[in-house]
Structure 1
Amino acid sequence: MKLLAIVLALLIEQVRPLSVERWIHAPLNRMADGCARRTFAGRAGSAAFFWFAFVGLATLAALLAHTVLGSVHPVLAVAFNLLVLYLTLGFRHESHYFTDIHLALGMGELNRARHLLEQWRGESYPEASDSDVARLAVEEALLAAHRNVFGVIFWFVVLPGPAGAVAYRLADFLVRRWHRTGGGGEQVVLDRFARRAFSVLDWVPARLTGASFAIVGNFEDAILCWRTQAAQWPEPSSGIVLASGGGALGLRLGMPIQQSGALVERPELGAGEDVRVESMQGAIGLLWRALLMCLLMLALVSLVVWAAP
């Protein structure tokens, strides 16, 4: 039944994508602010208390709701799973940025592509070339697909009900929230703990995503780049996704970039040729192949479990 819920949620999200900023991020921002005011006292210990209050209580609430609905009728539990997955899972949450950037670059509208990239990543790139914009868009697409699809699917399957999907997406939300809002002092403490907690949750999913990219792409280059390059990236889990993705695509990712008026030193990831506008379509193909492979593996596992005596 979990596989059915995943497939239905992906199909519904493709037909009617959700306005994430309006229906998810805005209420979550208000909830996070309220929870922080009540639980955070500026210390590392209270940062952990805030994180477990925000993520843990929501996860328990989702599990409780699923259990209660399931006791009334199994169909209600499936419907609740589908609703939660619709809110947490999907390519379309951020893929409109990638599509618009691809179209802008294809039409020669570099300034518009830079502006869209700035909206997506939260940083400005006034000196980025069309190759730089394409490379950063491919990087962000790989990471977004991992966070919004592959990581969510893993935890949804592993934990009962929709608890895993809720926990993973809320943990990811906190990491990106403190990064985008910036600030110092208390937010630095919150950001530090949120990143540590998310890295624990993302340890297995990142490696499964990297393996998926390798299987459906250039296997040897993906594994080689993963083994030799991923650890150089500031966030090791993201490094695995980008290095394996770049190797699978035969593209060079990472590398230094002018970002918000400063040169950001970044290691080179992947292997092969520089990213071009034409390369962007290949990244989407890789993501869809990886998703279809994951769904096929889930179907096979479900079949084996169903057929077992």
Structure 2
Amino acid sequence: MSESPNTLHAEDWAGEIGERWLANLDPFEGQIAPVGDALFARAGFAPGEHVIDIGCGGGGTTIRIARAVAPGGSVLGLDISQALVDEARRRAQAAGATAAAFTCADAAAGIPEGAPFDRLYSRFGTMFFADPKSAFANLHAMLRPGGRIDISVWAPAPDNPWMMETMGVVARHIALPPRVPGTPGPFAFGDTGYLLEILAAAGFSEPDIAGWEGLQPIGGPGATPAEAAAFITGASSVADTLKAAGPEIAARVVGEVAALYARFHRPGEGVMMGGKAWLVTARA
């Protein structure tokens, strides 16, 4: 059976997906910024804390944490994509974020230099592990006893109109296989019961899950419907599905997605569509 276009694996980010994220860094980061802002506020970092940022991408979150834990603190951004790590280092240097360092490694295996950390943070970087119980056990080992984890993950796909309505357009032209619960991908932890099971099996305690729900700028703030459609169909995992379907179908889908996004476009803001995520805190 072929996989759903929303099924991604950690190793995918080390290659083409990571390169794609890098090439579209501003739209990606702009789109998820509302959730990232909520997670950062919830985390409440303090000066002097030592933090690891899992799936740091282009380093935006790592740089922000570095400023919050200064003076005396530090943050290590970890990502499986060397291209993203290189860009993160460049951005941190340009920003003067001397408390931030970066390393390319798989968070599911091995303990990075600097462990144990006081805090572990991840904005949408923990949903792609092939073996989540083992991976989260490894994350647990990165923290000192009593250390805190703060992560954001997407709530169930049906609670995310930005994805459901987009994929509804795709599904009118391409037969999409059903997603298998618990498989790696953006919505791997939509089921909070499953997520709590993973955390408990890894040794985490005192879990607390809060919901974030609001509007996101698809393709980043200020994107036109055509720009947002080009971004989603060309930069996300949908791109692979459309490529396999051929240019005629792809062009039809892109046009219909742009028409869909026109209904949600707000001048000066962009294509604003609803989303929902879980903000998760626990203790090691």
| Higher strand proportion (structure 1 or 2) | 2
| Higher helix proportion (structure 1 or 2) | 1
Q: State TM-score, norm by structure 1.
A: 0.25
Q: Greater RCO between the two (CA within 8 Å, min separation 6)?
A: 2
Q: State TM-score, norm by structure 2.
A: 0.26
Q: Which has the larger radius of gyration?
A: 1
